[in-house]
Amino acid sequence: MEKRYFALDIGGTKTKYALLGEKGEILSTYEKDTEAQRGGSFILENVKGEIRRVLAELKGNPPEGAQADTKVDAKAERTTEAKIEPLLSGICISTAGMVDEIKGEIIHAGPQIPEYKGCKWKEEIERTFSIPCEVENDVKCAGLGEYSFGSGKGAGSMLCLTIGTGIGGSFILNGEVYHGTSHSAMEIGYMQIPGGMFQRMASTSALVKRVASRKGEAEELWNGKRIFEEVAKEDKICLEELDRLCDALSIGLSNLCYAFNPECIVLGGGIMEQKEILLPKIWGHLQEHLVPIVAENTRLLAASLGNRAGLLGAYVHFQNRQRAKD
């Protein structure tokens, strides 16, 4: 029987789910609201409900209201679900927050998900379902996905940045994510560049904030889509602030290039849907900050997997962790 894996990518707004084949091919996918404001325990129980539903469907017996079934006797739950263990070979989790990838638990989380720190994903999932589970940070998973299946495929080393409300990053060398001593390597949004913190100078939210301020309008009236519409009309303020964003990004990227000397840099996040505009601008500024030997040996690319990156990266992380145990 071909192995199947259940992958999930837990974000502050949406959680994406996918059933994967033996080689990581996506067999089916869907997403649901995370309801992050309800806290870590709620999210954990909600995910357990989704796993039960998928296992039941694979068995050919989808239960009614499986997602809401959280009041099950623990002993009976383990006994019943252990019987259907072969239906899934692994649970692969990508999640917001800092993750201890060895223990598979959350070691730090922002206010977007209350009471998330200390959530023991690996322990809880394996105890409940008797199925192997591995957990990794969502930005690191996105990097692994792009490295293994996307724009970074074939590279020996890769920096991956996700640009959105903040900026997150991962560094991958020969297929392995660099985690650092406290599992918090590449929290690059906190890096300092001229003007302040990297993510306060070079994120999409920073761009929106500056455009709205200069326009004398409420931030709620602006977003990335509207800014690029105005850029197409050659709006002076939007053009200037976009150039300022690209320069700030290039300063941060140049520092990372000097530290890691990657073969390629992959940029992701919703804003990179405008890659035809952004990549030439960022690269132009980046060349100003890099010595020729570094610039000539670095490729700047846009992420290509979109919402699939985290799911596929979670699968790759699962396989890497399982091989490490053998």
Encode pLDDT of 107-161 as tens digits.
999 888 999 999 999 999 999 999 999 999 999 999 999 999 999 999 999 999 9
pLDDT at position 112 = 87
Q: To 10 degrees, the CA torsion angle through 92, 29, 316, 134?
A: 0
Q: Quick one: pLDDT at residue 79? A: 44
Any idea how long the chain is? 326
Domain spans, the chain: 5-138, 151-302
Specify the pLDDT at position 2. 87
Is 151-302 in the same CATH topology as 5-138?
yes
Q: Has this prediction a pTM greater than 0.85? A: yes
Average of pLDDT values for 70-98? Answer: 67
Which pLDDT score is estimated for 61?
A: 63
What average pLDDT does the chain have? 92
Q: Tokens 């999930």 label which residue?
A: 8
| Residue 72 zone, left/alpha/beta (φ > 0; ψ -120 to 50; rest) | beta
Is the pLDDT score of 298 beyond 50?
yes
* For residue 72, pLDDT beyond 50: no
| 106 pLDDT higher than 90 | yes
- CATH classification code of 5-138: 3.30.420.40
- 245, amino acid identity: L
Using CA atoms, how far residue 47 sits from 15, 37, 71, 136, in Å, is 9, 15, 14, 16
pLDDT band at 326 (very low <50, low <70, confident <90, very high): confident
pLDDT at position 83 is 46
Alpha carbons within 13 A on the beta-carbon side of 326: 6
Q: What is the mean pLDDT of residues 10-29?
A: 95
pLDDT at 86: 67
The percent of residues in the chain predicted with pLDDT above 90, rounded, is 88
What is the mean predicted confidence (pLDDT) over 18-29? 96
**Residue range 258-281: mean pLDDT, rounded:** 97
Residue 146 has what DSSP assignment? Answer: H
CATH architecture of 151-302: 2-Layer Sandwich (3.30)
Q: Render 271-288 in DSSP notation, one character per residue.
A: GGGGHHHHHHHHHHHHHH
Beta carbons of 171 and 184 less than 8 angstroms apart: no
- The CA distance from 62 to 53, in Å, is 6
pLDDT of residue 263 exceeding 60, the answer is: yes
Burial of 308 (0-12, 13-18, 19+ CB in 10 A): buried
Mean pLDDT, rounded, for 25-39: 96
Q: Average pLDDT of 181-195?
A: 94
pLDDT at position 309 over 50: yes
